Structure 1
Amino acid sequence: MRHQRKHASILGAGAIPPPELGAIERRNCGRLRRMLVCTVHVLLHILTTTKRQETMMPLINIVFALIDLLRRHNNKQHINMASPAASSVLFLVIAVFTAGASAATFNIKNNCPYTVWPAATPVGGGRQLNSGQTWTLNVPAGTSSGRVWGRTGCSFNGDCGGALACTLSGQPPLRLAEFTIGHGQDFYDISVIDGYNVPMSFSCSNGPKLVCKADKCPDAYLFPADNKKNHACNGNNNNSQVVFCP
């Protein structure tokens, strides 16, 4: 009561004393939480509409940073993360990445007059392909990127530590077919940055066919910043083909 009378004497008769500090904090915290949630909603909307790969990853990082900030803020204020606002954000994040996830099929064919042991990571491993044989590799939804390459001879040129099924990257020299998939637009390329071994072509159902037979073929990445050699393949559930000795 003494505090209220003091406030009244300073502000004048009939004036309403300022609210307690805790009430101000609670109101500001509510505003901060709503601002964070709204910001995440806007970023998620941009993520669902953008088709530029270079834009997506920075936005994804910002979204998760904001969600982490919201989580820590809620924990500090003893707010349940199962609240409607927090739940809606988490639901949207799941929806974005589920909608963006897409499966892909790669038909890997050996047109060489000799046996090739293709390798594929992070899924597929590897197998033996005699001349004329084809390996159908199904890449499940949720796989963001991968690579395919050929190995030859008993010594496994382009080897994975002597294993048929690769779980690690191959050992140079090797010519790579590389891909990233998801969010309605796939990207693919051939790279000779790590050297050259089996000639190959790489094509997508909705994109140009890349052919690399020579050491420094114009369709392939020759150095890390050679980004003009990265090609888009629009649409989900694309079928791609890798051919050795095209």
Structure 2
Amino acid sequence: TFVLLSIIGLVYSTRVNFNNRCGYRVQVVRTENGRVPVQQAMLNAGQQSGADFGSNGMNFKNGFNGKTLAEFSFNAFSGLDFDDLSVIVGYDTPMAISSNRGVTVTCRGAGCRDAYLYPTDDTKTHSASTGGTFIVTFCP
């Protein structure tokens, strides 16, 4: 039974890889609704890391006070993952989201066209089938 549940969990997981192309250290912080923010990774310039996630909505940013957000909802609706960049609360770190199955979005400034600029800017959300790999690049 444990093996079967483990296999089922893997089928519905999505991987997120983090790449630091900045000339400085990046503290990847994960935030989720109703949970305390946690450090996902500490990446020196040129380093990368990754993790698998199940059915959750979460954001990633640079530092606990970070403003630019890479936002995700995994296995959220009809077997889809949703992703976007957001600068609604402000901009502080250049960021991009790419995947092995969809659109690449990039934000290199406060008014970037690929990111949410206001709460109902819903044309900035992208979707793909659950179970792929996303790459969050800091300083693309």
TM-score bracket for this pair, using the shorter chain length: 0.7 to 0.9
Aligned with 1:181: secondary structure? strand
Q: What is the aligned partner in structure 1 of residue 131 from structure 2?
A: 237
Q: What is the aligned partner in structure 1 of residue 105 from structure 2?
A: 210
1:139-167 deviation per Cα after TM superposition (whole angstroms, max 9, x unaligned): 1x3x221111112xxxxxxx2xxxxxxxx
1:73-99 deviation per Cα after TM superposition (whole angstroms, max 9, x unaligned): xxxxxxxxxxxxxxxxxxxxxxxxx89
TM-score (norm 2): 0.82
Instruction: Return 5+ residue gaps in structure 1 as ranges.
Output: 1-97, 152-158, 160-170
C-alpha displacement at 1:116, in angstroms?
A: 0.8
C-alpha displacement at 1:184, in angstroms?
A: 2.0
1:97-125 deviation per Cα after TM superposition (whole angstroms, max 9, x unaligned): x89x8211100010001111111134963
TM-score (norm 1): 0.48
Measured in 2, the distance between the counterparts of 1:116 and 1:137 equals 16
Q: State the one-letter code of the partner of 1:206.
A: R
C-alpha displacement at 1:177, in angstroms?
A: 0.3
Q: What is the aligned partner in structure 1 of residue 85 from structure 2?
A: 190
Q: What is the aligned partner in structure 2 of residue 227 from structure 1?
A: 122
Measured in 1, the distance between the counterparts of 2:47 and 2:59 equals 20
Q: State the one-letter code of the partner of 1:194.
A: V
Question: 1 or 2 for the larger relative contact order (CA 8 Å, sep ≥6)?
Answer: 2
Larger proportion of helix: 1
Question: 5 Å matches for 1:53-202?
Answer: 102-122=12-32, 125-139=39-53, 141=54, 143-151=55-63, 159=64, 171=65, 174-182=67-75, 183-202=78-97
Larger Rg: 1
Question: 5 Å matches for 1:12-23?
Answer: none
Aligned with 2:43: secondary structure? coil
Aligned with 2:42: secondary structure? coil
Measured in 2, the distance between the counterparts of 1:176 and 1:204 equals 16
Measured in 2, the distance between the counterparts of 1:136 and 1:225 equals 30
Instruction: Please provide the CA RMSD for this pair.
Output: 2.1
Q: State the one-letter code of the partner of 2:130.
A: N
Partners of 1:103 and 1:236 within 8 A in 2: yes
Partners of 2:87 and 2:117 within 8 A in 1: yes
Larger proportion of strand: 2
Partners of 2:27 and 2:39 within 8 A in 1: no
> Percent sequence identity over matched residues?
33
Measured in 2, the distance between the counterparts of 1:185 and 1:124 equals 25
Q: What is the aligned partner in structure 2 of residue 65 from structure 1?
A: none
Aligned length: 126
